[in-house]
Amino acid sequence: MELRHLHSFIALSEELHFGRAAERLGIAQPPLSRHIQQLETEIGAALFVRGPRSVQLTLAGEELLRRVRVHVEGIALAATAARAIGTGASGRLQVGFVSNLSYQLLPRTLATVKEIAPLAVFDLHEMTTDVQLAALRRGEIDVALLVLPIEGAELMQRLLFHDPLVAVMPENHTLRACAEVSVAQLRDEGFIMCPRYQRTGFQHVIFDRCEEIGFEPRVVQEVQGKTLLYELVSRGVGISIVPRSSSLAKRPGVIYRPLSDRIRPVDIGAVWRRDDDPPLRKVFVDTAVAAARADTENARAIA
């Protein structure tokens, strides 16, 4: 029993007119008549009573219509859903991200993707870079937004943007009047940092720069998350150095100052498994790249 025959049967059952049914299906009347005849032959019963000016369903036709309509509609819905997933307009994606992306890039990306793929569902997981890589390799997330570079031939990556480092200090800090500060000016400060074992990437850059200048940062407190870091900075426990994207969240009691040193910015990128390529992932990454480019151009315009 062919699907096209059932579509023709349903159209004629609802229109009860060969001309209107053929027009609705976008076919000529002779093919429509053949579909009905072939279906009747396969079933072994007449489905319509054909009069000179009217068409009526037989009892067999009424029973067939009652039973097949829901199935044909279900097939159509299934085809639409499959098409949406195949084109990236629908589906479910597990997304890992580092915390500083939650202030601008990630919300902008999700808002845009939702316009493109309103049926898509995103499960968001805030993780450090190393935790994301482990989760990605285990198949627990589909795409990771993290600090580059990463290693592994099994992984693909795309650069999103370069994220300069900035100093974050209490709002009453003695350097508050400076438009920018150097790492050397922070020599005597106590630093609040993420634990070294987390390998956040940019922390190594900070320590390397301090070593070049001739001192080792005095870490007064290690913290797991940005919320506690900013709270401790606001209370004068110490200062910190963070990616500029983190400064997009306005925190009470703290100020941000660009670093005058020529320090390599943090590279933020999207990473996914080479052997896993769901269409929705491509839509998401392409949108994130465009959003990052727009944010970068806006930042340059403001500067």
CA atoms within 13 A on the CB side of 72: 17
**pLDDT tens digits for 256-268?**
999 988 777 888 9
pLDDT band at 198 (very low <50, low <70, confident <90, very high): low
CA distance 38 to 217: 84
Overall domain count for the chain: 3
The Cα angle at residue 97 between residues 117 and 269, in degrees rounded to 5: 85
Residue 87's pLDDT band, with cuts at 50, 70 and 90, is low
Rounded to an integer, the average pLDDT of 287-298 is 80
pLDDT above 80 for 81: no
Lowest mean pLDDT segment, chosen from 105-114, 131-140, 204-213: 204-213
Q: 133 and 83, same structural domain? A: no
pTM of structure: 0.66
Percent of the residues in the chain that have a pLDDT greater than 90, as a whole number: 32
User: DSSP label at 119?
Assistant: T
pLDDT of residue 171: 94
User: Do 97 and 213 belong to one domain?
Assistant: no
Same domain, 270 and 142: yes
Structural domain harbouring 42: 3-87
Angle between helices 59-87 and 279-302 (to 10 degrees): 40
Last residue of a domain, one of 87, 118, 153: 87
In the predicted structure, residue 85 carries a pLDDT above the cut 60: no
What CATH number is associated with residue 145?
A: 3.40.190.10
For residue 96, pLDDT beyond 80 = yes
Phi/psi at 224 (5° precision): -85, -30
Averaged pLDDT score across all residues of the chain: 85
195 pLDDT tier (thresholds 50, 70, 90): confident
Residues 289 and 147 in one domain: yes
User: For the chain, how many helices (H) and strands (E)?
Assistant: 9, 12
How much is the pLDDT for 86? Answer: 60
Q: How far apart are CA 18 and CA 24, in angstroms?
A: 10
